[in-house]
Amino acid sequence: MSRMAPESRSGFSVFYVVPTRWADNDIYGHANNVVYYAWFDTVVNRFLIEEAGMRPGVDTVVGYLVSSGCEYFAPVSYPEELELGLRVVRLGSKSVTWEIGVFPGSGDQTAALGRFTHAFVNRDTGSSAEIPVTIRRAIEALPSVS
């Protein structure tokens, strides 16, 4: 099994600034792995709210996280301002897989690369649902990886 290589900033077109916090560092002096997942969740949901019109607590169809993972290439730590890039790996009729690149400051290579899959469901019934049109349009405007 070969190890993934860091990704270039040019593979992402949407970025969100995420400042690190003192509490993000672990005993080894770098951001703990669980913190990365909070950053990924924040960036994906910020995109869905700001660009796709998602209304948490109101929408009937919601995305449930069904899979996640992360490849780490270099540590980050407080105090550092990060830029997280967002792109789409796969877009289906009822699910989407995102990739989130963690870039230290203005660095060109990912320090980490996260992956999230959301499956859309009817919140009231728990049954599988099509991705809402407004969310689909916003996702389709993102760069995708072949």
pLDDT mean values, one per 10 residues, the chain (146 residues): 86 94 95 96 96 94 96 96 96 97 93 97 96 96 75
Beta pairing partners, 106:
none
* Per-residue pLDDT, 146: 56
**pLDDT in the model for residue 40:** 97
Does residue 5 form part of some domain? no
Looking at residue 75, what DSSP letter applies? -
Q: In 3-state terms, the chain is what percent helix, strand and coil (to 5)?
A: 20, 40, 40
Grouping H, G, I as helix, E, B as strand and the rest as coil, residue 119 is: strand
Q: How far is CA 39 from the centre of its chain?
A: 7
61 occurs within a structural domain: yes
Structural domain that includes position 68: 11-140
Does 146 fall in a domain?
A: no
In a domain, 33, yes or no: yes
Question: Domain total for the chain?
Answer: 1
pLDDT at 133: 96
Question: Can you give the pTM of this predicted structure?
Answer: 0.93
Q: Which of 146, 138, 11, 5 is nearest to 84 (CA)?
A: 11
Within a domain: 113 = yes
134, 140 Cβ separation under 8 angstroms: no
